[in-house]
A and B are shown apart, each in its own frame.
Chain A
Amino acid sequence: MTERTRKSTERLIEHLASEAVPVRRLPAPALRASLFLLSAAALAALGILLFAKLPMFERRIADPKLAIEVAATLATGILAVLAAFELSLPDRSARWALLPVPTLVLWIACSGYSCWRHLVVHGPDGWAIGESAQCFRFILVLSLPLGAALLLLLRRARPIAPVRVAALGALGVAALAAFVLQFFHPFDVTFMDLAIHLVAVGLVVLVASGVEALALRRD
């Protein structure tokens, strides 16, 4: 180290030390994730009780394949949110990013199987776009406030690798939205309807990670 840089590093340290006001430690990431998930669950429950068509949901969920798919969607949402909170801290292993992968694969596989079965049963009619535009809007619109709230919470850790934190957070939020959507799905889905759920989730992840990465990076 040259004399010049030694001095400038020293001055920097003096400056930082002079600014060292007390800080509030962040609570454990699992606790923060749980608080977020509980709040989201409370809001979702309220919306479901008020507006959802529960008898239809009960009929549909009796199909074990759909039950697995719905469970995998929910698990992907929860695990991705937890991983995002863990990874927002500097010393957490990058392997946390793999946490939601198994359930995500299961979800995509179930969805893919349903799509294929639907095509086989309905033939060319299976391609028709049912009410997927609504589903698409539902996932995007629900992801927006959830994502904004999550972004604010994640920002408190000022992540040093913001992009993967943003991508995981967005996956979590979009999966949660896709899960809630299941309660509002009164109709027989078509191939396009099922595919469109995953497309919407992918879009949320892409857009949100771009936006969140920029926002997190500005700190």
Chain B
Amino acid sequence: MKEQRWSRLMAAAQEGDRAAYDRLLRETVPFIRAIAARRHSSEDRIDDVVQDVLLTVHRVRHTYDPERPFERWLAAIAERRSIDLLRRRARRAAVETSDQRTYETFPDAGANREGETLARDELSRAIATLPPGQREAIELLKLRELSLKEAARTSGRSIAALKVNVHRAIKALKARLEGR
């Protein structure tokens, strides 16, 4: 029943029916989350997968054949994106270590809190606590000031995913710094 409805909604979306598409994407979020949750435990990462899957569905929506089951098509994409995120994390973990003290110049915490370095330190620390996808987007686009195209090449992520991540990162940083 649900399967047939999703299949119909997707067929309508392929023809440009925006309301059907909006409804379909909203209805499928729990389904995608359930698949992502099989491989990821952190809420942030599950959300990363969900958004990545939504972006992928959008990009490959012309490959869906309404004669075939929609759930299987969507599940295959969700499964692949979950694994992609695991691989990216493994690659990053192999070359990066995370240490809270990285950003301190003196062992005495007070010595780091002088003048203008205060804000920068706070910001660096806040950036360090972001989820990897968001941190990467901020580092590439805002700190290294790469263009979206260059950042996409460097990180292997799509431009749309970078945009979403940088947007989420700025919101998270704002919330964190305002709440200090």
The interface of chain A, by Cβ under 8 A from chain B, is: 1-2, 4-5, 8-10, 12-14, 16-26, 28, 88-91, 157-158, 160-161, 217-219
Q: How far is the CB of A7 from chain B (nearest CB, A)?
A: 9
* Nearest CB of B to A18, in Å: 7
Partner of B25, one of A4, A13, A219: A13
Query: 0/1 per residue, B59-83, Cβ < 8 Å to A?
Result: 1111111001100110011001100
State whether B51 touches A17 (Cβ < 8 A). no
Task: Give chain B nearest CB distance to A22 CB in angstroms.
Answer: 4
Count, A-B residue pairs, CB within 8 A: 101
- Please measure, in the bound complex, the distance between the C-alpha atom of A218 and the C-alpha atom of B69, giving whole angstroms: 28
Q: List A contacts of B164 (CB < 8 A).
A: 8, 12
Q: Name which residue of chain B comes closest to A13, CB basis.
A: B25
26 A–B contact pairs at CB < 8 A?
A: A2-B43, A9-B47, A9-B50, A9-B51, A10-B26, A12-B51, A12-B54, A13-B54, A14-B22, A16-B55, A16-B58, A17-B18, A22-B14, A22-B15, A25-B14, A25-B65, A26-B65, A28-B65, A90-B76, A90-B77, A158-B59, A158-B60, A160-B77, A160-B80, A218-B152, A219-B59
Q: What residues on A are CB-neighbors of B65 within 8 Å?
A: 25-26, 28
Known: A23-B62, A24-B62, A158-B59. A13 touches B22 (CB 8 A): yes
CB within 8 Å for A23 and B14 given contacts A4-B172, A160-B77:
yes
Specify the chain B residue showing the minimal Cβ separation from A22: B16
Interface size counted on chain B using CB atoms at 8 A? 47
B56 at the interface (CB under 8 A from A): yes
Q: Is B168 positioned at the interface, with any CB of A under 8 Å from its CB?
A: yes
**Do most interface residues of chain B lie in helix, strand or loop, or is the interface mixed?**
helix
Within 8 Å CB of B175, what residues of A? Answer: 4
**Chain B neighbourhood of A9, CB < 8 A:** 29, 47, 50-51, 54
Contact across chains for A20 and B21 when beta carbons are under 8 A apart: yes
Interface of A is mostly: loop
Interface string of B6-29 (1 = CB under 8 A from A): 000000011111110110011001
Which of chain B's residues have a CB closer than 8 A to the CB of A4?
A: 168, 171-172, 175
Report chain A residues within 8 Å CB of B142: none
B 99-116 to A, binary, CB cutoff 8 A, 1 in contact else 0: 000000000000000000
Known: A17-B25, A23-B61, A160-B80. A8 touches B43 (CB 8 A): no
B59→A5 contact, CB < 8 A: no
The 3 residue pairs across chains A and B that have the minimum distance between CB atoms: A22-B16, A17-B22, A23-B62
Known contacts A1-B47, A2-B43, A90-B76; A20/B63 CB under 8 A? no
Since A17-B21, A25-B65 are in contact, a sample of 9 more A-B pairs with Cβ atoms closer than 8 Å, ordered by chain A residue number, is: A8-B167, A9-B54, A12-B51, A12-B54, A17-B18, A20-B17, A24-B62, A25-B62, A89-B63
**Nearest chain-B residue to A89 (Cβ)?**
B63
Within the complex, the shortest CB–CB distance from B119 to chain A, in Å, comes to 23
Complex Cα distance A88/B76, Å? 12
Q: How far is the CA of A137 from the CA of B65 in the complex (A)?
A: 41
Asked whether B156 is an interface residue with its Cβ less than 8 Å from the other chain, the reply is yes
| Cβ A8 vs Cβ B54 within 8 A | no
Give, as a whole number of angstroms, the nearest-CB distance from B168 to chain A: 5
Determine if B18 and A90 form an interchain contact, defined as CB atoms under 8 angstroms apart.
no
The interface residues of chain A lying within 8 Å CB-to-CB of B50 are: 9
Q: Which of B25, B62, B73 contacts A16 (CB 8 A)?
A: B25
